[in-house]
Structure 1
Amino acid sequence: MSKVLSNKSNLQVLYEDNHLLIVNKRAGDIVQGDKTGDTPLSEVAKEYIAEKYNKPGAVYLGVVHRLDRPTSGVVVFARTSKALSRLNKLFANRETEKTYWAVVKNEPKEVTNRLIHFLKRNPKQNKSYAHIKEVPDSKKAILSYTVVKKLTNYYLLEVALETGRHHQIRSQLAAINCPIKGDLKYGFDRSNKDGSIHLHAKKLSFIHPVKKEPLTVIAPTPDDVIWNACTKA
């Protein structure tokens, strides 16, 4: 994975107010600290807030959800404890609309479909296996997809998540023989040069936890040949 990590100068802020900070995560960035010791996006965002608002001392920033390291797109942080607790409830109760874009090489059998699997996580492999029927320790996973564009060698799928499971989109698409471009872990034949996969959290909609108004945030796709082909008219 590329080590060109985010810093406060290249942080892509999509929305901010007194309660929220929403950013466009780059593939390769980690949302929270892990065993790699790389600087997480949460710390970069704290530096950004501290500098922009001239805040002395520790900056509060709550992590609401995460994206896999090789995935890009919308990530929400809470700037207050009140916002964090309310956002946690929104996400737990599935009161959010999450839309992803995924680039796959194989054409799905159906142009649009709703996939239901039971995912069993293997922590040692950091991988989830999709089963048609329930198995011990599995969790039900549901998503809907639509093929929205045919590229020269690939297909662009728009994916709507109904549940939020570990590696859900990666595992479920692989289960229908449509692994995501660059995703070696789930069966794609080669990696992307920068270690990314072509999975992007494109849009997130929810009711603002404090203002109680509808909020929709859209993240531009990364600047590469494949993603640029996806966004061409």
Structure 2
Amino acid sequence: MDGETFPLFPAESLFPPEPRERSEPAPGTVHVPDWLSLPEQRGLVEACRAWARPPAGLRTVRMPRGGEMSVRMLSLGWHWYPYGYARTVVDGDGAPVKPFPPELGALAVRALAEAYGPRLPEIAGAVGYRPDIGVVNHYPHGAKMGLHRDREERIDAPVVSLSLGDSCVFRLGNAETRTRPWTDLELRSGDLLVFGGPSRFAYHGVLRTVPGTADPALGLVGRLNITVRQSGLT
């Protein structure tokens, strides 16, 4: 996540050349393309750079069976580790986790209003939403994330996901198994994805990123994904 830039190469054709309009690929999941303006994206990239510095900074995650994730991660508010939360980086430098930024919480609340509109009261945990966790994933070229569920939280409030940098192929599965049915989405820099309601605990992952698709103005190598969650922890 350094300050290098890459030229904007034409991306391979991953999806049909159709207009990018907001969609609901599954009940409770809303995709809003280009939700963040370029200045907002730049601001978030700079914030991620600050959060990534030690202590409690960006780290490589080792899974319980010894494998390493290809993405690098950092947490805000509560520290995520496989598979739980703590107030310190128990699988890293042991430092206290950085505080959850209130401006990130306000952005997530605005994202829910944008995604659900008048339907917001129908979505579990959306009314009175009080996010207290930020998880930032950095995908260097070649990184991916297997299908998984965000289930360490103790509340079923929606998850807000923001994309920055390179585009990716995001797979949204079902809440029962890692097998079909699933839907593949193209997520680009500035896109908003919210999953809640029936999709809150759906399997999801990133099949691959597309190098060279980030706006050079971001000065970002690879892809950043910021997810905002409400823990239900005390």
The alignment's TM-score, normalised by the length of structure 2, stands at 0.28
Higher radius of gyration, 1 or 2: 1
- Larger RCO: 1 or 2 (CA < 8 Å, sep 6+): 2
The alignment's TM-score, normalised by the length of structure 1, stands at 0.28
